Structure 1
Amino acid sequence: MKTLRAFITMVALVVVGYLAWNGYIEPEPDGDSTAKPTATAAPPVKPAKGVTVTSFRQASRLLKVIPEDRQAYLRSYFGKGWIDADKDCRDTRQEVLARDSLVPVSKGCRIYLGKWLSYYDNKTWTKSFQVQIDHLVPLAEAWDSGAYQWTKATRIRFANDLKEKRGLVPTTTSLNYDKLADDPQWYIPKVNKCKYIASWIAVKARWSMTVDQREKDAIDRVMKGCPDRKLTITRAKIGLLPFAAGTGTSNRNVTIDSIVYSGRSEKIILRNTGSSPAKLIGWVVRDEIGYGQYRMPKTVIPAGGTLTILSSEGRKRLDAAGNPVQHANWGDVWNNSGDTATLIDGKRKVADICRYTGDNSGKARC
């Protein structure tokens, strides 16, 4: 019987081998006989133009570390408030409330009821007045980090950016007041820190903003305890003012003539001592502590003429002699006990300095 079984087995092997050799049957894949052939891996999808796909930690390296250019920030530099970009009667706040509600909301222009999660504290709210729409990167911080170089249209788009969900966040009202205009050096929520920092990096990278060293150190400290996950960044289109686009001017003939620190509106007067008009693009004048700082719009000072910069609010104009007059909107900054005025040209070089001490005349000549 054993001989017969051996004979049958041998014949079966010969037949199978013959059929396999001639291609009539496919050999079983290695391993599990029920396994299916592995599908060919699809080629990686190339990110769309303007989109960067990177890791959490790699993304932080996209941010340039430079000292912040502390300007005299005004909220109005980013527009008067929320706008209705698509003209559907809902401004940006209402659009974010509708987008981020965890339950359906009404179809009207204003939203009163919904359900919103504030991830800064993991609290849920059902009435819209209980949440603020937080600019994750505050407008003042954006200004310091590069927005002072943007056109006003770009700043308004940033302040109302609905294309980047991480940039505008429903937040418990009290927390929004706690945060104010702080960067991660001063404010990081007690919960969801990794999400917050990843979003901070994504928004700053989207708008090509910079970080200062202490801000970067705070980001790095949080990242050490976070998983290195994928981060997708979609770049925004940014319009730059002329001086930021590399066309800032310099002119040795433009100097600080005098500072008037008395009267209803203090002022600083620049003079063009040259025999031809001086075009000023990207010029800055600042006081000693940096609070009174004014970046001039494109300005032409006539030959031998002056530029008067008032500390009050108002529209730029020409005086009776045809010399330009502008308003810095910064409040009173000069004082009779002494101050230092620094004039910086469009190439970011110091053009002139005026120092005075204990002048009681009301007008300091430079």
Structure 2
Amino acid sequence: MPPRTRQWTVLLAAAAALSLTTACDGVTIDTGAAPGASTTATGRTSTGNAGAQLDKLVVAKAGSMKGYSREKFPHWRTTGDNCDVRDSVLKRDGTKVKLSGCNVVAGTWKSVYDGKTLTSPTQVDIDHVVPLANAWRSGASSWTTDKRGDFANDLDDPQLVAVSATSNRSKGDQDPSTWKPTDTSSWCGYAEDWIAVKTHWKLTVTTAEKSALADMLEKCS
């Protein structure tokens, strides 16, 4: 192997080893977004096509709650090394997050629903942007339990967000026609996230829900 190639191999190996140390006790992780980034309510990059996605969602009356229970949406799943999905969201959404092993023990979180700054993981709830009961009423009642578990633990779509416990419990299982974040600056991102989740999971919307989402998208301009 030529000397220059060998040097790059050593450097890349060192960088990979350094990245693995983030699982060690006492590690602090700064996961703040880059300045000027355009993000949704869950901190994801906005795609700007929410209006088109909303137009394609199927409009239907809300289904029955018969047979519903949170146990039919098993969560939180483990994500390895004594960590679970809740820990993963806390690490993703927080700044200066401190770990003990894999567990989040400290950090700071900005609750996008009400603008509150949270300084302890015990103050944070992990909210399902599209609530489990709403999903049940809009199509998930016909899913298998495994699929509902995938929905309840979805880290790939903007379905999980760290927010204040008070805002999460105020929201409950309501859709945007009856509940919106008190921080109006988050309406655009919240609507985009809601639409993205319903689009990916092929869930329906009610007429009132669709109208409320369209109104909230006006905050994006």
Higher percent of residues as strand: 1
Of 140, 143, 162, the match for 1:147: 140
Code of the residue aligned with 1:66 in structure 2: it is A
Which of the residues 88, 96, 104 maps onto 2:81? 88
Query: Which whole-Å CA distance do the structure 1 matches of 2:133 and 2:50 have between them?
Result: 25
Whether contact under 8 Å (2:97, 2:106) holds in the other structure is no
Displacement, 1:143?
Answer: 0.6
Aligned equivalents of 1:175, 1:148: Cα separation in 2: 26
- SS in structure 2 opposite 1:111? strand
| Match among 180, 183, 186 for residue 188 of structure 1 | 180
Of the three residues 149, 159, 171, the one matched with 1:156 is: 149
| Aligned mates of 1:63, 1:69 — CA distance in 2 | 16
Q: Normalising by the residue count of structure 1, what TM-score does the alignment of the two structures yield?
A: 0.45
Does residue 77 of structure 1 match 2:72? yes
Quote the residue 2:194 is aligned against. Answer: 200
Deviation of 1:183 after TM superposition, in Å, equals 0.4
Stretches of structure 1 that go unaligned for 5 or more consecutive residues are 1-52, 228-366
1:173 deviates by 0.8
Shift of 1:54: 6.2
Question: 1:162, CA displacement in angstroms?
Answer: 1.2
- How far does the alpha carbon of each residue in 1:47-91 deviate from its partner, in whole angstroms, 9 at most, with x for none? xxxxxx662311211211011211321111112x3110x332111
Listed one character per residue, the Cα deviations across residues 105-127 of structure 1 (whole Å, up to 9, x for unaligned) are 21424222111111111222120
Equivalent of 2:113, from 112, 120, 140? Answer: 120
Deviation for aligned residue 1:193: 0.8
How far apart, in 2, do the equivalents of 1:188 and 1:83 lie? 28
Deviations 1:17-74 (A, max 9, x none): xxxxxxxxxxxxxxxxxxxxxxxxxxxxxxxxxxxx6623112112110112113211
Aligned-partner Cα distance in 2 for 1:193–1:138: 17
Counterpart Cα distance in 1 of 2:99 and 2:88: 12
Cα distance in 1 for partners of 2:215, 2:162 equals: 25
Whole-Å Cα distance in 1 between the matches of residues 99 and 148 of structure 2?
A: 30
Identity, % of aligned pairs?
38
Distance 1:171 1:219 in 2: 20
Letter in 2 for 1:157: D
Measured in 2, the distance between the counterparts of 1:115 and 1:99 equals 11
Larger RCO (CA within 8 A; separation ≥ 6) = 2
* Inter-partner Cα distance in structure 2 for 1:204 and 1:118: 22
Pairing 1:129–2:122 present: yes
Q: Which has the larger radius of gyration?
A: 1
Q: CA deviation at 1:189?
A: 0.7
Contact 2:106/2:121 (CA < 8 Å) preserved in 1? yes
Contact between 2:123 and 2:164, CA under 8 Å: does it hold in 1?
yes
| Counterpart selection for 1:179 from 163, 171, 174 | 171
- Counterpart amino acid of residue 181 in structure 2: P
Q: Please tell me whether residue 219 in structure 1 is matched to residue 213 in structure 2.
A: yes
Instruction: Give matches, 1:30-49, under 5 Å.
Output: none
Cα distance 1:162–1:225, how it changes in 2: closer, same or farther (>3 A)? closer
2:143 partner amino acid: W
Q: State the superposition RMSD in angstroms.
A: 1.5
- Cα separation, 2, equivalents of 1:190 and 1:59: 25
Alignment of 1:238-277 (within 5 A): none
Change in Cα spacing, 1:62 to 1:107, as seen in structure 2 (3 Å) is: farther
